[in-house]
Structure 1
Amino acid sequence: MGTVDDYLNDLDTGDREVIDRVYALAREVVPDAEQGRGYGMPALVYRGKPLISVMRAKRHIGLYPFSPDAVAAVAADVEAVAGTGLDKGTIRFQPEHPLPDDVIRALVRRRRDLIDG
């Protein structure tokens, strides 16, 4: 087990399914990502840098790609989903309105490309 698995085990079933789906899609895009931490949060790590973290907050699920550029790359697609919100480095969504798979994949690809330089 790793930090992401440990975090998922402590979540309610509905939240766990939604958050695990995001991590599963990220692993499809970056299969060599490993479990670790980014800014103290459970995260997938790629080439020693945090790739993505997904966490349950009080009123939403937060997706953190550790990059304002990655968020900007998918901002228009995220804003089209009901119940979402954006900040410089965060995407917020509701479990009942998950982000589309293609948006998650695009976000992770962008973050991977930024890490690859």
Structure 2
Amino acid sequence: MSLKKFFSVGEYLSSLTDQQLLVAEQVRQAISQAVPEAEETISYNMPAYKFKGVLVYFAAWKNHLGYYPLPSGIEAFRDQLKEYEVSKGAIQFPYSHPLPLQLIADIARFRLEENRSKKK
């Protein structure tokens, strides 16, 4: 991935290698289907999905796809994330393992419901 500033998700995706693109497109589709009311945008120079605030972000790295569902998204699914590298706000899905698309979608839906309940 380059250090270029991206203005659309399509532009971001066009900068990826074939392997990264395959994974990123699967994640994009899983999120879009899980939370169709979310707005797809670029934030912090990576794809983001927003509904009453940010739901999730993702980014393609050299050896993994980073998924960023904010700390609450990680805490709510901590038991299902034991096989992945996890930090306070990030999950690493290695390209060498099958992508847990259902889990990615479930986390996005959880974040949507969390944001829906906000008093904005």
Q: CA deviation at 1:42?
A: 2.6
Structure 1 pair 43–98 and aligned structure 2 pair: CA distance change class (3 A): farther
Q: CA deviation at 1:8?
A: 0.8
Task: Select the structure with the greater relative contact order (CA < 8 A; seq sep ≥ 6).
Answer: 2
Q: Do structure 1's residue 60 and structure 2's residue 64 form an aligned pair?
A: yes
Q: How does 1:95-114 map to 2 (within 5 A)?
A: 95-114=95-114
Structure 2, unpaired ranges of 5+: 1-6
Task: Give the root-mean-square deviation of aligned CA atoms.
Answer: 1.8
Asked if 2 retains the 8 angstrom alpha-carbon contact of 1:37 and 1:50, the reply is no
Q: Do structure 1's residue 25 and structure 2's residue 40 form an aligned pair?
A: no
Provide the rounded CA distance (Å) in 1 between the counterparts of 2:63 and 2:87. Answer: 15
Q: CA deviation at 1:107?
A: 0.6
Question: What is the TM-score of this pair, normalised by structure 2?
Answer: 0.80
Structure 1, unpaired ranges of 5+: none
Q: CA deviation at 1:60?
A: 2.5
Q: Do structure 1's residue 46 and structure 2's residue 46 form an aligned pair?
A: no
Identical residues among aligned pairs (%): 30
Bigger Cα Rg: 2
1:11 equivalent among 9, 16, 21: 16
Asked if 1 retains the 8 angstrom alpha-carbon contact of 2:63 and 2:95, the reply is no
Q: Deviations over 1:56-93 (max 9, x none)?
A: 2344321111x21111122221223xxx2001110012
Question: What is the TM-score of this pair, normalised by structure 1?
Answer: 0.82
Q: How many residues are aligned here?
A: 111
